[in-house]
Amino acid sequence: MSNIQGQRILILREQEQGREMLDKLNALGAQAIAMPLIAFEANQEALKRITPSFLQGFTHLIFTSSNGVRFFIKALEGAKIDPQQVTQRIAAVGEKTAAALREFGLTAHLMPKEYRASEILALFPDRLEGIKILMPVASGASEELPKELQRRGAEVRMLKLYHTVPAKAFPATISKGDWVVFTSPSTVHHFFASGLHHREAIVPFCIGPVTKTALEKVFKGKIQLAKQATIDALISEMVAYSP
């Protein structure tokens, strides 16, 4: 019998965002619970900056999350811009981000296998003079990638379209032995700032090395990392996990 059967697993995402993971884990006999720690709020002033003339100034778009895609589309809708009018070359970090683009008829021309700055940079030439890149991101997003792109000669604009804020209520408490799924540095920050965790012996699972790095700063125990930044790879890690 797999250790995952009957195991309580907390997914630090809204139920709709984490639906695929919830369904797959519960089908394996786990007790998976959606536990959103953060909510997303639009930065209305930033959304208004996206106009046809504004977009024409960029040759490339880089999306680092599906939320960035959705708030970008919201901005397009506000400006009455059809997504099909977006002609820039698009880079997307992760299959979820690429899937969010496809929902609106957009295609990711460039997609690294992992969310590492080095993996994204490998998609671009060493010299980027004349390249103008727009990155729709959350406030507080890392500046590591844009700085390296600028070092190569690109012009980069980080447009902070939305904020992450703490959720108003939590549907569960933390118990000893819980497996906790961290999907972003934001979930790490809000989990340990929430006051929910009181040194309970949890088992953390991460998607992506950036999330693992953020977790290592606040958690001193062993961290389980999916071999690829996908839900299926994370679930495989859980099925194979043995204390």
**Across 2-16, 31-45, 143-157, 223-237, least confident range:** 2-16
* Cβ contacts of 74 within 8 Å, gap of 6 or more: 42, 47, 161
Is the confidence at residue 1, as pLDDT, over 60?
no
CA angle, 229 then 142 then 162, to 5°: 90
Mean pLDDT throughout 54-61?
96
Confidence band of 16 (pLDDT split at 50, 70, 90): low
Q: What is the pLDDT of residue 15?
A: 62
Complete edge-to-edge strand list for the sheet that includes strand 203-206: 31-34, 8-11, 179-182, 203-206, 224-225
Is the confidence at residue 13, as pLDDT, over 90?
no
CA distance 159 to 100: 18
CA angle, 91 then 163 then 84, to 5°: 40
User: Residue 34: phi, psi to the nearest 5?
Assistant: -80, 130
Task: Pick 1 or 143 by higher pLDDT.
Answer: 143
Please, what CATH class does the domain formed by 8-37+167-240 belong to?
alpha beta
CATH of span 41-165: 3.40.50.10090
Instruction: Report percent pLDDT > 90 for the chain.
Output: 63
For residue 158, give both structure tokens.
């980080």
pLDDT digits (tens, 9 = 90+) for 170-223: 767 899 999 999 988 888 988 998 888 888 899 999 988 888 999 999 998 999
Mean pLDDT (the chain, rounded): 90
Q: Where are the domain boundaries for CATH 3.40.50.10090 in the chain? A: 8-37+167-240, 41-165
